[in-house]
Structure 1
Amino acid sequence: MPVLAIRYDRLNSFLLRPLSRSQILELLPYIGLNIEDFDDEEVKVEYSPNRPDFGSPAGIAKALNCLKFEVEPKAEYALEGSGIQVNVDESVQEVRPQIFALYAELQFSEFTLKELISFQEDLHNGIGRKRRKFAIGLHDTSRIIPPIYYTTEGESFKFIPLNGSIPMSIDEILKETEQGVLYSHILPSKDRFPILKDSMGQVLSFPPIINGNVTALTERTRTLFVDVTATERSSAEDALSLLATALLDYGGVV
């Protein structure tokens, strides 16, 4: 079962009215959360994989607002078009055929960045079945020059992976990086590999393995591009819906 650490002040920032620590601890079990541990600053809760929306403080706050303040959750959200085009090459049909994407404007902070990355990994490990069903890439849109291309490359193709400093070939990434060793078995082909890149050839991601370094998120990020690649359509749609809802709950424009 996934565990999430939540600061009380962070949770209160999403609530209709602030609650005391004792009030929060009293209410959490009523929305189906098991309290693992707590101190003066934060509480660690275990949540069901059947409630992936509880993977962020915003999602938990939404349930608390409904329980404590009788605020009805939104049944529908308004989305806006981005104008960013994603071109899909036929070659991906044999390796990872589904791709969905969204664009969001969001005020990032130290908390937002950590929480989104944690939410991403919980989705990967839970309903994503350790990236077998889908993989999510989070990117700083300001570093991307559209249109975007979803295509395949051979094992000699090189780019700088996330948190790297030098270009590595796909073969090197699969054999020498932690992510490559962990997830290379998911890829059905050993000849062609899925790559997402922009019009200048900058690599956004090599799903489901690792992102490129050029679009890495920072606290200065203000616009976000999210890609979800998958083996089946329904899994990608589920992941994208959860991410879009979370970003809207954070006050973003999607």
Structure 2
Amino acid sequence: MPTVGIKKEAICKALDRNYTDEEFDELCFEYGLELDEVTSDYEAIVKEQGEEKAKGADTSVIYKLDIPANRYDLLCLEGISRGLNVFLSRMKPPVYEALEPSTGCRQRLVVDPSTECIRPYAVAAVLRNITFTPERYASFIELQDKLHQNLCRQRTLVAIGTHDLDTIQGPFVYKALPPQDIKFKPLNKEKEYTAVELMELYSDSPVYPVIYDAKGVVLSMPPIINGDHSKITLNTRNVFIEMTATDMTKARIALDILVTMFSEHCDAPFKIEKAEVVSPDGLQIYPILPYREEKVYAPALNHKVGISESHDKIANSLSRMCFTR
């Protein structure tokens, strides 16, 4: 069960109420979450390294929540606050839409057959006109880390790459090359490395897949490291998201979670720009963002859960958990 830390100040602001620790604990319980710990960076450092090391550390109160293993939408502040706001009837569940780009020309990722024996699948999308703040940026990076640790199984099933679209040019090509043919500047490094040298730095994978833009700029070497050239900054306005995978189902879920969580910060909230992936199997448009319709019957549901509620009460309860009707 993953644990997510959110600042008390941030969640109270998002919920438009100053909760006491006890009140927030009760709200989490009602929603189905567990408030595991109330702490701060300062307290954590004191506990592990002593007071001397903690001088100058952030004393902001942090709520650490235990998140159910299948609730990837609750791995960031955006998802937690959105879920709680709907639960509290402060907002309706958002409707997520995948739209064609205003230019009429989708970003394209071409999957070369050479990737078949390494990481054969890829998905892509664009977050257009997003606004980052330091807090949003940190949350964006942390969500990717949480997805990598959990759903993506330490990048073995899915590797996420996010790039400043204004620094690169499509169409993009995903291929597998001999390590001596790959050379680029990895994220937060000062010089270029060959893939052989990179494996000495990042020895968690023996494979050498690589993604290039139309000008030969390397975006990433999944699942090892992203490139420095296209890294996201606070000034980034347009984000190109690519994910390579050995499991297509997990890739689609990871893409849906990332774009639905952070499309909140786009000029057109909850609208995601489509991208196309051309693989040896054909063309596919992402994100798919599938909705499905389910019918539930009050007597059967009451019997299974062990309650006795009316159709309207059940429908209202489901609506508070982000099910639309």
Shorter-chain TM range is 0.7 to 0.9
Which residue does the alignment assign to 1:119?
143
Equivalent position to 1:103, from 126, 129, 132: 126
Q: Which runs of 5+ in 2 are unaligned?
A: 40-59, 273-325
Counting aligned pairs with the same residue, the percent is 29
- C-alpha RMSD over aligned residues: 1.8
Which residue does the alignment assign to 1:26?
26
Query: What are the Cα deviations for residues 124-151 of structure 1, in whole angstroms up to 9, with x where unaligned?
Result: 1111111111110111111111111111
Equivalent position to 1:216, from 231, 251, 264: 231
Quick check: 1:168 aligned with 2:188? no
Equivalent position to 2:250, from 235, 249, 254: 235
Higher mean C-alpha deviation, range 81-90 or range 62-71: 62-71
Q: 1:141-180 maps to which residues of 2 (within 5 A)?
A: 141-156=165-180, 157-175=182-200, 177=201, 180=202
Which residue does the alignment assign to 1:58?
78
Quick check: 1:41 aligned with 2:41? no
Equivalent position to 1:92, from 103, 115, 119: 115
Q: How far, CA to CA, are the matches of 1:27 and 1:203 in structure 2? A: 46
Which residue does the alignment assign to 2:263?
248
Where 1:184 maps in the other structure, the secondary structure is: coil
TM-score (norm 1): 0.88
- Deviating runs (4+, > 3 A) in structure 1? 12-15, 249-253
TM-score (norm 2): 0.70
| Counterpart amino acid of residue 110 in structure 2 | N
Q: How far, CA to CA, are the matches of 1:206 and 1:53 in structure 2? A: 27
Equivalent position to 2:240, from 212, 219, 225: 225
Equivalent position to 1:133, from 154, 157, 164: 157
Q: How far, CA to CA, are the matches of 1:31 and 1:11 in structure 2? A: 15
Contact 1:155 1:171 in 2 (8 A): yes
Q: Deviation of residue 70 (structure 1)?
A: 6.1
Where 2:132 maps in the other structure, the secondary structure is: coil
Larger Rg: 2
